[in-house]
Amino acid sequence: MILGIWAGKKIVVAGGAGFIGTHLTRALMSEGAEVAIVDNLSTGSAGRTAAPVTVADIATLDRLPLAADVVFNLACPASPRAYQADPVQTWRTSVMGTWTLAHLALAAGARILQASTSEVYGDPLVHPQTEDYSGNVALTGPRACYDEGKRAAEVLLYDLAQTRGLDIRVARIFNTYGPGMAQGDGRALPAFFEAAAAGEPLRLEGGGGQTRSFCHVDDMVRGLMALALCDAARGIPVNLGNPDERTIREAAETVVRLTTSRSPLVEVAAAENDPRRRCPDITRARNLLGWEPQVGFEAGLRSMLDGPA
């Protein structure tokens, strides 16, 4: 093992049994960090990580599992199907969970990195989205629990930073994909792979003309780790995502081609409040972190074909 700058650091990853959290935990441990996970296992699996897991709801957590230097808050389902299943719990995790973790981090003298989301931009009227764009978010509808929950959590952290001196980093994460995504969670790429493997139609909600910018999980983990250690990013949001914008239809066609499937593409009704365009401006990440994505879209899709990670 070649130990890096994380060697010897004590890290708590809330939501560490989830998709991004599993990859992040593995990367931190590979650099010699001591990692402990807090997760209620609503969408994650403790069996996928070598780090110890405290099974708990972060909204009611009374102590951190170790004396942390850094707390990563990745807790909250990210797929619409999962977070819409219990919108009140989604709101509670986003806001009250962040409140709890922030105060525990403050008491421990730890830095906290908040996994926010591109959903704070809603269905954007500005393209690509910069961090100073205030967004176009629906306050009602099935996505509001997540979108507004994440926006409120950001405000809470900014206020705690200003009034209590909490050391914060905020990552606005755009669509992330890669091996280990949960089967059946409803997100586009795993759904396309599942349908293609079964020879079933790939469903294009709203016709598939909406765009997304898919970032491979390896790139996202590099970005999160760089942001956590960047002093110049203290107290400001930073977009982490891939500016390689493409339509959902293009993504589906690529999955069909790579899997040599004969599955047809079928158009179905659009999901309510589904953003039409989504693409990050990552100028801030480039300038402050020296970070940008490196994994190409097809290479990233092929990594999903290789099996779970």
Q: Where are the domains of the chain?
A: 10-176+217-241+280-293
Query: What does the pLDDT read at residue 1?
Result: 42
Mean pLDDT, to the nearest integer, of 275-280? Answer: 91
What is the C-alpha to C-alpha distance for residues 164 and 112, in angstroms, rounded to an integer?
Answer: 13
Span 112-142, pLDDT tens digits: 999 999 999 999 999 999 999 999 988 888 8
What is the C-alpha to C-alpha distance for residues 270 and 137, in angstroms, rounded to an integer?
Answer: 17
What is the C-alpha to C-alpha distance for residues 114 and 39, in angstroms, rounded to an integer?
Answer: 15
Q: What's the Cα-to-Cα distance from 155 to each of 49, 131, 233, rounded to whole Å?
A: 31, 14, 16
pLDDT greater than 90 at residue 184 = no
Mean pLDDT, to the nearest integer, of 279-291? Answer: 98
How many degrees, rounded to 5, is the angle at CA 84 between CA 82 and CA 86?
90
Q: What's the Cα-to-Cα distance from 93 to each of 74, 78, 169, 251, rounded to whole Å?
A: 10, 12, 18, 31
Mean pLDDT, to the nearest integer, of 244-270? Answer: 95
For the chain, give the percent of residues with pLDDT over 90.
Answer: 83
pLDDT greater than 70 at residue 309 = no
With cut-offs at 50, 70 and 90, classify the pLDDT of residue 82: confident
Tokens of 227: 């942001």
What is the C-alpha to C-alpha distance for residues 142 and 308, in angstroms, rounded to an integer?
Answer: 30
Whether 216 contacts 300, CB under 8 Å: yes
Q: Give the residue numbers annotated as catalytic, written as ranges.
A: 146
pLDDT greater than 80 at residue 185 = no
H or E segment to which residue 201 belongs: none
Query: What does the pLDDT read at residue 3?
Result: 62
What is the C-alpha to C-alpha distance for residues 151 and 120, in angstroms, rounded to an integer?
Answer: 6
| Paired sense of beta strands 215-216 and 176-177, if any | parallel
What is the C-alpha to C-alpha distance for residues 237 and 130, in angstroms, rounded to an integer?
Answer: 10
Q: Across the strands, what pairs with 239?
A: 172
CATH topology (fold) of 10-176+217-241+280-293? Rossmann fold (3.40.50)
How many degrees, rounded to 5, is the angle at CA 184 between CA 23 and CA 251?
75
pLDDT greater than 90 at residue 293 = yes
Query: What does the pLDDT read at residue 272?
Result: 82
pLDDT greater than 70 at residue 110 = yes
pTM of the predicted protein model = 0.95
- Indicate the average pLDDT of the chain: 94
Span 11-70, pLDDT tens digits: 999 999 999 999 999 999 999 999 999 999 988 888 888 899 999 999 999 999 999 999
Query: What does the pLDDT read at residue 306?
Result: 79
Whether 107 contacts 177, CB under 8 Å: no
Q: Across the strands, what pairs with 245?
A: 213
Whether 225 contacts 27, CB under 8 Å: yes
Neighbours of 259 (CB within 10 A): 17
